[in-house]
Amino acid sequence: MRRLVALTATGVLAAALLTGCGSDAPSGESVTVFAAASLKQSFTQLGNQFEGDHPGTTVEFSFAGSSDLVTQLTQGASADVFASADATNMQKAADAGLLDGSPVNFASNVLTIAVAPGNPKAVTSFRDLTRPGLTVVTCAPQVPCGSATQKVERSTGVTLAPVSEESSVTDVLNKVSSGQADAGVVYVTDVAGAGGSSTAVDFPESAGAVNTYPIATLQDAANAERARDFVDFVTGPAGQQVLRQAGFGAP
C-alpha cells in the first residue's frame, strides 16, 4: 500500500511540473504601431510580411492623423512604434520625451487633388479649387497634409475656402469618394490606393511642399526588441520596396 501511495504522489508531482511548464510557455509577442492614416494600406501589408518573418509575433496598428496620434501618446496611450507623416509631429513626440533614440526618415509624399472619377468638374489646377460653386475639403492645419496644403497656399497666393477641414487625409478622400465634396487635397498615394474611386489631378506647386515621414521606437515600448525589428524592417529593402510600389518617394 505504501508503494502505491508513493507512486500516486510521484504522478501528482509530475503532473504539477508539466502544468507549471505549460503556464510558462510563450504566448506570442505583440508590437503596437501608431501610424499616420496615409500609411494604412502599405503598413498593413508590411505588418503581414513582418508577422510571416517573425512567427508568433502580432503587429497591431492604430491609424489616424499624426497630430491626433501624438495627442494620444502624450496623454498616456501605449504603443511601441510611432510613424508620422511629417517631422513636426515627430518632434512633438521627441519634446515630450516619448522617443527611444532618434527617428529615422523612411518615405516622402506629395500632394495631389482628388476628384470624382473622370474629373466631371474639370479641375486642372490648384487655383481651380477657388472656383465658385466647387465644394472643397482639406486636412486641418495641424495635420501634415493640411500643413502642406497651407504651404502651397502661401507659395501660390491662392487661399482656399474648404467646406470642412478633416482630422486625417483618409477622411478627406472619403468625402470626395462618397460625393460629399467635389475635390479634396490629399497625397498621391491615397488616390493611387483608392481602387479607382477617385481621380488624381497633379499640380506642379506640390513639389514645394513635400512631406518626409519619420519612424521611431517609443521610450515605454512594452516590446522594445521587436519594435526595433519593425523599424529596421520598414527602413530596410523589403519595406522600402512596398512603399515605393505604393507611390511613396525616397526620404
Tens-digit pLDDT profile for residues 27-72 = 469 999 999 999 999 999 999 999 999 999 999 999 999 999 999 9
Closest CA to 228 of 12, 57, 36: 57
**Separation of alpha carbons 218 and 98, rounded Å:** 6
Q: What is the pTM of this model?
A: 0.86
Tell me: pLDDT of 8 over 90: no
> Do 220 and 241 fall within a single domain?
yes
Domain range for 70:
29-108+213-246
Q: How many domains does the chain have?
A: 2
Work out the mean pLDDT of the chain and round it to a whole number. Answer: 90
Residue 158 lies in a domain: yes
Q: What is the pLDDT of residue 11?
A: 41
3-class secondary structure per residue, the chain: CHHHHHHHHHHHHHHHHHHHHHHCCCCCEEEEEEEEHHHHHHHHHHHHHHHHHCCCEEEEEEEECHHHHHHHHHCCCCCCEEECCCHHHHHHHHHCCCECCCCEEEEEECEEEEECCCCCCCCCCCHHHHCCCCCEEEECCCCHHHHHHHHHHHHHCCCCCCCEEECCHHHHHHHHHCCCCCEEEEEHHHHHCCCCCCEEECCHHHHHCCEEEEEEEECCCCCHHHHHHHHHHHHCHHHHHHHHHCCCECC
Q: Are 65 and 167 within 8 A, CB to CB?
A: yes
Confidence of residue 17 (pLDDT cuts 50, 70, 90): very low
149 domain residue, yes or no: yes
pLDDT of residue 212: 98
- Do the annotations mark residue 164 as ligand-binding? no
- pLDDT number for residue 101: 92
- Do 233 and 169 fall within a single domain? no
Claim to verify: residue 33 and residue 103 sit in the same structural domain: yes
Residue 20 has pLDDT above 60, yes or no: no
Are 217 and 103 in a shared domain? yes
Residue 51 counted as domain residue? yes
CATH number, domain with residue 138: 3.40.190.10
Instruction: Tell whether 43 and 118 lie within a shared domain.
Output: no
Residue 26 scores a pLDDT above 90: no
- For the stretch 166-176, pLDDT in tens is 999 999 999 99
Which of 101, 97, 187, 201 is closest to 143 using CA atoms? 187
Rg of the chain on CA atoms, in Å: 24
33 is in an annotated binding site: no
Within a domain: 17:
no
Specify whether 62 is located in the same domain as 142: no
Residue 169 known to bind ligand:
yes
**What is the structure's pLDDT at 57?**
96
Residue 15 lies in a domain: no
Tell me whether residue 66 is annotated as binding: yes
In terms of domains, do 196 and 233 share one?
no
Residues 139 and 192 in one domain: yes
List pLDDT tens digits, range 222-239.
Answer: 999 999 999 999 999 999
Is residue 15 predicted with pLDDT exceeding 70?
A: no
Please tell me whether residues 151 and 75 are part of one structural domain. no
Q: Output the pLDDT for position 7.
A: 34
Same domain for 217 and 96?
A: yes
Q: Is residue 194 part of a domain?
A: yes
